Structure 1
Amino acid sequence: MNVNQTGALRQILPAALALVLSATGFAMTAMPVHAEGTSYYTAALATPLAAPKTVIHDELLWHCAGAECTAPRGTSRPAVVCARLVRSLGPVTHFATPQGDIAAEDLARCNGTKG
């Protein structure tokens, strides 16, 4: 009986291993890439934080220290991302992406004031 179990294991093991590797490969390609230390958004808070703080808001992981906050790229427009950050941490004096600062009008809207 031991011989039959070993034979069955030899047949099932490669198939199970292939299934696990395929699932792992698919999961890795389906996950969004957010490299640690890579920031897309930068913001300056109007009121600096007393201690460093990490905030997760709408799937963005914000790292803030003092008045400076950074986060990886999200799927929303920068003005929307800015407004969400303001709701979490308060007004900002600066908000930018690698393409540059958001427009003054968008910054005013982000802070909840009219442009």
Structure 2
Amino acid sequence: MRALLPFTLLFVAAPALAGAAPLMKATPEAGAEGRIITKGASWNCTGGDCKTMSDASRPNILCERLAKEVGRLASFSVNGRAMDQTALAKCNAKAK
């Protein structure tokens, strides 16, 4: 029984060690309010900013999907790290 304890602890602790999904934040140029559902994320938009925590897809793809719904984005960041201007321009090319 004691031999199984380390393996049991490993399986119980593994999800906690995996970490949380990244926090993504976007600022639509035209503003946005409410909940916006895109493939891979549920965005909560208040005060002009939209936020989600999702590891369902790459951030660049989630940026493009949000831009398709709300229009051009002034900024997009992942865990506080801003997307560079080249990547943001590519994201905004998908805007509605």
The two structures have a TM-score, normalised by structure 1, of 0.58
* Partner residue, 2:51: 70
Structure 1 runs, 4 residues or longer, greater than 6 Å off: none
* Partner residue, 1:47: 30
Aligned residue pairs total: 76
- The gaps in structure 1 that reach 5 residues or longer are 1-28
- The gaps in structure 2 that reach 5 residues or longer are 1-14
Which structure has more relative contact order (CA 8 Å, sep 6+)? It is: 2
Q: Determine what percentage of the aligned residue pairs are the same residue.
A: 24
The two structures have a TM-score, normalised by structure 2, of 0.68
Say if 2:67 is the partner of 1:86.
Answer: yes
Tell me, in whole angstroms, the C-alpha distance in 1 between the residues paired with 2:28 and 2:22: 16
RMSD: 2.3
The structure with the largest alpha-carbon Rg is 1
Tell me, in whole angstroms, the C-alpha distance in 2 between the residues paired with 1:45 and 1:109: 15
Tell me, in whole angstroms, the C-alpha distance in 1 between the residues paired with 2:68 and 2:55: 17
Q: In proportion to residue count, which structure has more helix?
A: 1
Alignment of 1:2-41 (within 5 A): 40-41=23-24
- Distance apart, 1:39 and its partner CA: 6.8
Tell me, in whole angstroms, the C-alpha distance in 2 between the residues paired with 1:42 and 1:53: 14
The 8 Å contact of residues 78 and 102 in structure 1, kept in 2 or not, is answered as no
Say if 2:86 is the partner of 1:110.
Answer: no
